[in-house]
């Protein structure tokens, strides 16, 4: 029934760490192109929430890097790092506009929470996810655990890095699939069936407080994945929701392989780095970190959730979690009447 995945999406972290071909460095000409388009957009007075790819036509950068990165995300290893955004030289408005303009090449932005945020701030706000079911791990200094986000692509721009720790971790969910196929094949059918996933207070319309979503699914011959262990476990707070022993064993196997040092890779961000990753073929994580006391130096990343253009079709089993599987319009948090906004600071 299942066969080994042999394309570039199945990789081993220690081997990728040794390579540099996933790093794309912006030179002066690249930055000038980004800046000129950014200044043009700001002077147009168009709302930032309305920004799209038509506002940022990258004549040079598109051919040089962006087209290749887009293909690498969907058909290759599933991640890239763009290095050199001048975050210490520009105003916050200019940085955010430039960042969104660059990422608009890959797709449409999706809402990240019920506050209507199209731009997220990954920063410690002193939250406690064990006591507050509406809190998110990105609002803490905790280790995140390997997971997927509810979008085709997730992008992060580093403004400030931590005093110590906070490394980004990536692992190929396709390599994990291959490991399970090789060593624990009896669990694969379980992982292709829906699991309960807590919405953490972000349900909308007639949605229940949890969705039913499988870890792996297949469509048109492509295997895709979605994993969020913490929300899987917290879904049992709802009446009548249970996770069977076999399901939990299957999740334990996913966790075991994800946290295997021979499978995952580490990536340390520097200010000005933009990480772009493809949620369908890898899981990501973040190490815990120690932050600076000085508020102006605290670890701070900007985040975008992106529904990709010309992307793979997804299983109908996605709909309960994502609200839609329509290419270019899927993912994000659904709620009627949201006031879309782009906060300049974490709140």
Burial of 301 (0-12, 13-18, 19+ CB in 10 A): buried
pLDDT digits (tens, 9 = 90+) for 209-250: 999 999 999 999 999 999 999 899 999 999 999 999 999 999
Burial of 345 (0-12, 13-18, 19+ CB in 10 A): exposed
* Helix intervals (H) in the chain: 13-17, 28-44, 59-61, 67-75, 92-103, 173-183, 188-191, 229-234, 245-258, 319-322
Rounded distance, CA 7 to CA 235, Å?
34
Among 282, 326, 252, CA closest to 73 = 282
Q: What is the CATH number of domain 13-322?
A: 3.60.130.10
CB 320 within 8 A of CB 199: no
Rounded distance, CA 169 to CA 180, Å?
20
pLDDT tens for the chain, residues 1 to 347: 899 999 999 999 999 999 999 999 999 999 999 999 999 999 999 999 999 999 999 999 999 999 999 999 999 999 999 999 999 999 999 999 999 999 999 999 999 998 999 999 998 766 555 554 555 565 666 767 899 999 999 999 999 998 888 899 999 999 999 999 999 999 999 999 999 999 988 887 778 999 999 999 999 999 999 999 989 999 999 999 999 999 999 999 999 999 999 999 999 999 999 999 999 999 999 988 788 888 889 999 999 999 999 999 999 999 999 989 999 999 999 767 789 999 999 87
pTM for this one? 0.94
The DSSP string of 42-69 is HHHT--GGG--GGG---HHHIIIIIHHH
pLDDT digits (tens, 9 = 90+) for 134-149: 555 656 667 678 999 9
């Amino acid at each position: 029934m299942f066969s080994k995945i042999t394309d570039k999406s199945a990789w081993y972290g220690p081997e990728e760490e040794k390579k540099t071909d996933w790093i794309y460095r912006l030179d002066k000409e690249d930055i000038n192109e980004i800046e000129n388009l950014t200044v043009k957009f700001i002077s147009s007075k168009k709302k930032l929430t309305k920004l799209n790819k038509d506002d940022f036509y990258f004549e040079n950068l598109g051919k040089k890097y962006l087209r290749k990165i887009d293909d690498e995300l969907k058909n290759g290893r599933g991640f890239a790092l763009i290095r050199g955004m001048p975050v210490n030289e520009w105003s916050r408005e200019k940085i955010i506009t430039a960042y969104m303009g660059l990422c608009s090449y890959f797709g449409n932005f999706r809402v990240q929470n019920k506050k209507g945020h199209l731009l997220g701030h990954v920063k410690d706000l002193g939250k406690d996810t064990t006591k507050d079911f509406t809190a998110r791990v990105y609002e803490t200094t905790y280790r995140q655990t390997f997971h997927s986000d509810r979008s085709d692509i997730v992008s992060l721009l580093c403004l400030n890095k931590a005093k110590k720790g906070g490394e980004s971790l990536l692992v190929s969910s396709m390599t994990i699939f291959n490991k399970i196929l090789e060593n624990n094949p009896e669990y694969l059918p379980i992982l292709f069936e829906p699991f309960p996933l807590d919405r953490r207070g972000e349900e909308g319309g007639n949605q229940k407080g949890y969705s039913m979503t499988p870890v792996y699914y297949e469509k048109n011959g492509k295997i895709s994945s979605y994993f969020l262990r913490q929300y899987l476990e917290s879904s049992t707070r709802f009446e009548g929701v249970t996770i069977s022993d076999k399901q939990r064993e299957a999740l334990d196997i996913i966790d075991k392989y994800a946290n295997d040092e021979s499978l995952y890779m580490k990536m340390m961000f520097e200010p000005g780095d933009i990480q772009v990753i493809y949620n369908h073929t890898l899981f990501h994580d973040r190490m815990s970190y120690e932050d600076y006391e000085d508020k102006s130096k605290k670890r701070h990343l900007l985040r975008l959730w992106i529904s990709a253009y010309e992307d793979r079709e997804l299983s109908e089993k996605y709909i309960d979690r994502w609200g839609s599987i329509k290419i270019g319009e899927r993912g994000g948090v659904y709620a009627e009447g949201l006031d879309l906004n782009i906060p300049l600071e974490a709140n």
